[in-house]
Structure 1
Amino acid sequence: MPIIKNKKPTRRKSALILILFIFLFSKFVTSQSEYEYTINSYLLYFDIVDELKVKETIEVIISPNAPLSRYTFYSEYSIENPEAIIEINGKTQIANVSVSKIVGEINAIYIEFPEVSPGDQLKIRISFYSEGMLQTINGKKQFSYYVKFNQPVGYFYARLYIPKGYAILSPIVPSPDKVESSGNALVLEWKKQEVRPGEEFYFITGFSGEVSNEFPLLYFVVPVLIAFVGGFLAGILYKGKEKSTVDLRSDEEKVIGILREGPMYQSELVKRLGFSKAKVSLLLKDMEKKGLIERIKEGRTYLVKLKEM
């Protein structure tokens, strides 16, 4: 009589092989989707130097997930006198910096350093002077800046230093997390934890006028002013009051009139409209939601055209 073999061990072995395969496959997929490095923090510092120029400092702390010897920043603004230092596992040294224009007005800033590997801690700090962040709109000075992240960031911080002699005016977008005096100047701070891939930030701050005699009083009223401006601006942008709607239509008509000439890069629209880059970006996003225009991504910029009806 033939012996009937127990089939259970075979089934158990097959199940173990299947589980092992799924585990290895999931690890492979995860490793394929990992970023080259992890951005632990991304800090921006803006110091207004004069009526045209801003000193920008970027400080990034990253943990490499693979061998890394170069880091690239991108900027829509002019780059003058860039200087960079790096800190690898606590040791500081000067880094090599080069700048090249890639698409439209987009500048790539390359920072080269000795190769780092997973487990190392890398801190990069670069400073340079830029023009284009400060514009005069309706007789008032306005600071504007735009940044978009293509991968997660653990902690994001931005600081704007406004020297003595200027009063903060609307608009202020977004509302600062903190406003304080530092010597004879004002410091505005914005903070964000856990930035998602694709998340973008528009910073707009108006300022104007000589206020040297009233500057201490300004420190006191700024928080109240910001609260008021935040509510006022929210009403303008989202509640659609009659006056703001008329103003917005006027801006939209300007955009539509220009685009009737043909598709145009967003940077060219900024020049034609005479608005800040941040204002144009907000305006175009709103028009795109309304179905008035299309924005086609080309590299790190957009080609804008009228929506075909």
Structure 2
Amino acid sequence: MRCLMLVAVSIIMLAAVTGANAQNMESYNLSVSIAYNNAVVKERMRFDNPVSGNIILEIPENHEGLSVNTGSDSPEYTVEGGILNIMLSSAEVLELSYVSSDLLERTDFIASFEAPYNISSFMLKVTLPENAVLVKPISESNLGSGSVYPKPDSAETDGRSITLKWHFKDMRKGDQASFLVRYRKQAEHIYSFLIIISLVMIIALLAVYIILRKPKIKEVENITEKHDDKPEETADKPENEKPSFEKHLKEDEEQIVNILKQRESKCEQGTLRVITGFSKAKLSGLLKELEDRKIVHKEKRGKKNLVFLREQ
């Protein structure tokens, strides 16, 4: 595994009249958020005193979306390869942000930091991808593990991502610190599990629907038979022989026709919906199909629709 430099060399070059006096930093905060095989890096440097002149920083050559500002304006800068040259004018704060994959080796975060000047407080925060876990878990009683080096000052999670933090005090110019975080992604396993659970739930719901729906239809048919006071008429046709148009009815259409026949060839559309258990949209579609085939017709009676079975 290669060792990649977050900031390998960082030099403040003051204007000629001020000489090359070293500058001290009050704080240096470095935040790295890992997502989609890239590291989103944010750096914030605060100087003890306002700085004017050029600052030369080294950043990963493979970077995108570079942003530079001082909190109050966006200074001019140039980039050649991995060398960033920033022109400052009496700035107390310098902020950088960019995206790079150079800080990642598959699912390992590897980086080294070298203090460009004396730094009173240096802080590195690394946030792992959502649903990622450390290769070797750590506990509150023992923050050190083979997955994290050096031992972080804190490790916390919001339920989705793990965040590790390191704090260093009074770093001297040239002091170095190396960092390693080994993690693995669990998103694919979670998505597969969720898909399986969803399929099982859908199948279970369909089974329950089928089981409950069949008795309901039979019960409704019994109720309609009880309310049918019209005596059966003998037909010249052989027993059990259906009219020609009924031979071409679908199951749902046949159910509607049977209910109309049991109710003296007419029924309110709302009552049909209650008896059949069909949704409003499904029943409307079935009635439209039967109307087009001249099997039924509808009439508006006030706010209600009456459905009539045509004589065949």
Q: TM-score, normalised by structure 1?
A: 0.48
Decide which structure has the larger Cα Rg and report it: 2
